[in-house]
């Protein structure tokens, strides 16, 4: 697939130019060679990136929409909302802390959420968390697990397993000396060290306890081709299960770019150039497939999705053998950016700083395939976002086909939905997509707080713009996330079908009165009118 990228841009430069372009002229792109469904012309092309001047609330609710309720939690809010298809709030959960990313409704009706720990010693970056919390349907806090120190910090996302354990993404600290010895380009090593990602499996214990029963460290699976005298030396193109420690799409940030990113709200006011260098992978999404006993990761800084084996022991997960698939903790599959493993250049890149990798569940159209939200696409017409459904090629035994040469398949997505020059659909950060039981796809365009459902043909049959802005503050008075003017930002959303076990025996009706809407004064009247 070729998106006709005229020039490769690293994430920061792309974000800055894209944001300025959107604010000034709108955004979109010309059709690509990929079979795709274009976004219909339902939004003003001159809409700004945050959607600050857009009317809020329900816009579209057609009979073709998937019945059920939509779950989401604004990034600046202490409240998680469950709304019906009419846009009315039917249930809420309130916490003391803002979310850091993923929020999930469990089968027993409890809410499992990530949370932004305010007192963090070292780590500073988008999606930082530190806590996992579980609330009953009635709002009682029954689990409050802290995993935050000067050595590690939970961030972005979690995945609940059938056995009740929780898989979580975390940063871990590696010193500058360790990074250089591992073969990292010395010019890219901040003296503060590096923050590679790890995955921990947590067994909840009591109100605030948790036992780490399994872990995987990306740092155990590196390769580098810079210096044969250092660790992990080898050809990345011949070690596809290994991670090239220098393949991240991160470049130097000027002081001007740093200040612009702070102004845009993409990073906090405390973030330094060193912090941006430290966050090596910036994994932002995790999913678990119980049938395969595999874990999928969205790795933003590599513009790749990775799949690893969970059937290993922790010891096997640190090596390259063992487990159901025989490869230990090495990558079983990767897709999105062949340049990361030396099997292509930027013209072969298919994902751009993506979020939210998910397997499509059994009983849902496309079951076994995967969906992913590609944030920062760009062609000659400008930036846009896209949602892909892909079918990873597998052998008869279910293992992934590893190419002898060239890139991992598929060459093209099975289905895609993308923005166009006529219809604004661009979300350079956060966001996600979920395949629904009726075959439609629920999309969260996170920066604007825009949630919408599209048919396989790309028709929007349900659309809701989050009208509520949170008021959670950190102890120093700053917001919990550096979203600045993106005051309606939503990390992700999920559709809860009416027959979900969590809703069994519950009579859901719109709350009366509806939760208050914290809106800008000049638009409050319009927001109230559009809510419902």
What DSSP assignment string belongs to 228-258?
TTSTTBS-GGG-TTSEETT-S------HHHH
- Determine the 3-state secondary structure of 461 from DSSP: strand
Q: Is the pTM higher than 0.85?
A: yes
Q: Is residue 320 part of a domain?
A: yes
Query: What is the 3 state secondary structure string of 34-64?
Result: CCCEECCCCCCCCCCCCCCCCCCEEEEECCC
Cα separation values, 121 from 30, 98, 128, 148, 308, Å: 46, 18, 12, 8, 30
In this structure, is residue 3 part of a structural domain?
A: no
* pLDDT given for residue 15 in this prediction: 52
Joined together, the tokens standing for residue 111 give 């809410």
Spatial strand order of the sheet with 294-299 comes to 283-289, 294-299, 304-309, 333-335
- Residue 468 counted as domain residue: yes
Residue 139 belongs to some domain of the structure: yes
Question: Is the residue at 232 inside a domain?
Answer: yes
d(CA 384, CA 353): 12
Number of domains present in the structure of the chain:
1
Specify the CATH number for the domain of residue 142. Answer: 2.120.10.30
**By C-alpha distance, which of 525, 434, 488 is closest to 47?**
488
Residue 6 counted as domain residue: no
CA dist list (Å): 33 to 4, 36, 372, 379, 416: 9, 8, 19, 12, 11
Residue 262: predicted pLDDT: 64
Q: What is the C-alpha separation between 514 and 257, in angstroms, rounded?
A: 42
472 closest CA partner among 153, 102, 74, 112: 74
* 170 touches 153 (CB < 8 A): yes
Please list the pLDDT of the chain residue by residue as tens digits (532 residues). Answer: 434 333 334 444 445 444 433 323 233 333 333 347 766 544 433 347 889 889 999 999 999 999 999 999 999 999 999 999 999 999 999 999 999 999 999 999 999 999 999 988 888 888 999 999 999 999 999 999 999 999 999 999 999 999 999 999 999 999 999 999 999 999 999 999 999 999 999 999 999 999 999 999 999 999 999 999 999 999 999 999 999 999 998 766 777 767 756 654 456 677 777 777 899 999 999 999 999 999 999 999 999 999 999 999 999 999 999 999 999 999 999 999 999 999 999 999 999 999 999 999 999 999 999 999 999 998 887 899 999 999 999 999 999 999 999 999 999 999 999 976 677 799 999 999 999 999 999 999 999 999 999 999 999 999 999 999 887 888 888 888 776 688 999 999 999 999 999 999 999 999 999 999 864 433 333 323 222 3
The closest of 323, 348, 351, 326 to 338, measured between CA atoms, is 348
Q: Does residue 43 lie in a domain region?
A: yes
Asked if residue 479 is part of any domain, the answer here is yes
Containing structural domain, residue 17:
11-530
Structure-block tokens of residue 27:
């955004």
Radius of gyration of the chain (CA): 22
Three-state DSSP at 295 gives strand
- Residue 195 CA from chain centroid, whole number: 18
Selection from 137, 433, 168 nearest residue 284 by Cα: 168
pLDDT for the residue numbered 4: 34
């Amino acid at each position: 697939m070729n998106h006709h990228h005229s020039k490769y841009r690293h994430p920061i430069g792309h974000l800055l130019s894209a944001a300025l372009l959107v604010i000034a002229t709108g955004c979109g792109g010309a059709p690509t060679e990929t079979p795709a469904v274009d976004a219909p012309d339902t939004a003003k092309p001159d809409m700004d990136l945050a959607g600050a001047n857009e009317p809020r609330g329900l816009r579209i609710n057609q009979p073709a929409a998937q019945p059920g309720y939509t779950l989401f939690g604004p990034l600046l809010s202490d409240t998680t909302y469950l709304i019906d298809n009419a846009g009315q709030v039917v249930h809420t959960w309130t916490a003391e802390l803002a979310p850091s990313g993923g929020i999930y409704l469990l089968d027993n009706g409890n809410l499992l959420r990530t949370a932004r720990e305010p007192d963090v010693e070292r780590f500073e970056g988008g999606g930082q968390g530190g806590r996992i919390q579980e609330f009953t349907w009635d709002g009682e806090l029954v689990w409050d697990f802290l995993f935050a120190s000067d050595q590690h910090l939970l961030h972005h996302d979690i995945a609940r397993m059938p056995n009740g354990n929780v898989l979580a993404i975390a940063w871990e600290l590696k010193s500058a000396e360790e990074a250089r010895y591992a073969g990292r380009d010395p010019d890219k090593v901040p003296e503060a060290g590096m923050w590679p990602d790890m995955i921990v499996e947590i067994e909840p214990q009591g109100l605030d306890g948790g036992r780490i029963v399994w872990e995987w460290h990306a740092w155990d699976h590196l390769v580098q081709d810079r210096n044969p005298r250092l660790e992990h030396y080898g050809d990345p193109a011949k070690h596809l299960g290994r991670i090239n420690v220098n393949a991240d799409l991160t470049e130097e940030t000027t002081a001007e770019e740093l200040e612009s990113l702070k102004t845009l709200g993409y990073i906090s006011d405390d973030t330094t150039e060193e912090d941006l260098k430290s966050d090596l992978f910036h994994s932002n999404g995790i999913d678990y497939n119980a049938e395969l006993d595999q874990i999928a990761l969205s790795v933003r800084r590599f513009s790749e999705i990775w799949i690893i084996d969970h059937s290993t022991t922790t010891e096997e997960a640190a090596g390259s053998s063992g487990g159901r698939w025989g490869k230990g903790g090495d990558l079983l599959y990767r897709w999105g950016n062949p340049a990361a493993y030396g099997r292509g250049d930027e013209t072969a890149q298919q994902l751009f700083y993506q979020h939210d990798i998910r397997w499509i569940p059994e009983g849902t159209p496309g079951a076994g395939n995967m969906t992913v939200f590609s944030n920062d696409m760009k062609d000659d017409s400008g930036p846009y976002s896209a949602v892909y459904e892909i079918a990873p090629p597998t052998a008869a035994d279910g293992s992934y086909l590893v190419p002898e040469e060239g890139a991992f398949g598929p060459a093209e997505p099975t289905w895609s939905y993308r923005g166009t020059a006529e219809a604004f659909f661009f979300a350079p950060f956060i966001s996600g997509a979920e395949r629904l039981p009726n075959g439609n796809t629920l999309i969260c365009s996170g920066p604007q707080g825009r949630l919408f459902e599209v048919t396989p043909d790309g028709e929007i049959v349900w659309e809701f713009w989050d009208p509520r802005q949170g008021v959670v503050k950190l102890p120093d008075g700053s917001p919990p996330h550096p979203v600045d003017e993106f005051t309606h930002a939503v990390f992700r959303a999920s559709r809860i079908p009416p027959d979900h076990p969590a809703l069994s025996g519950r009579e859901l009706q719109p709350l009366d009165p509806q939760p208050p809407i914290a809106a800008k004064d000049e638009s409050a009247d319009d927001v109230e009118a559009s809510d419902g």
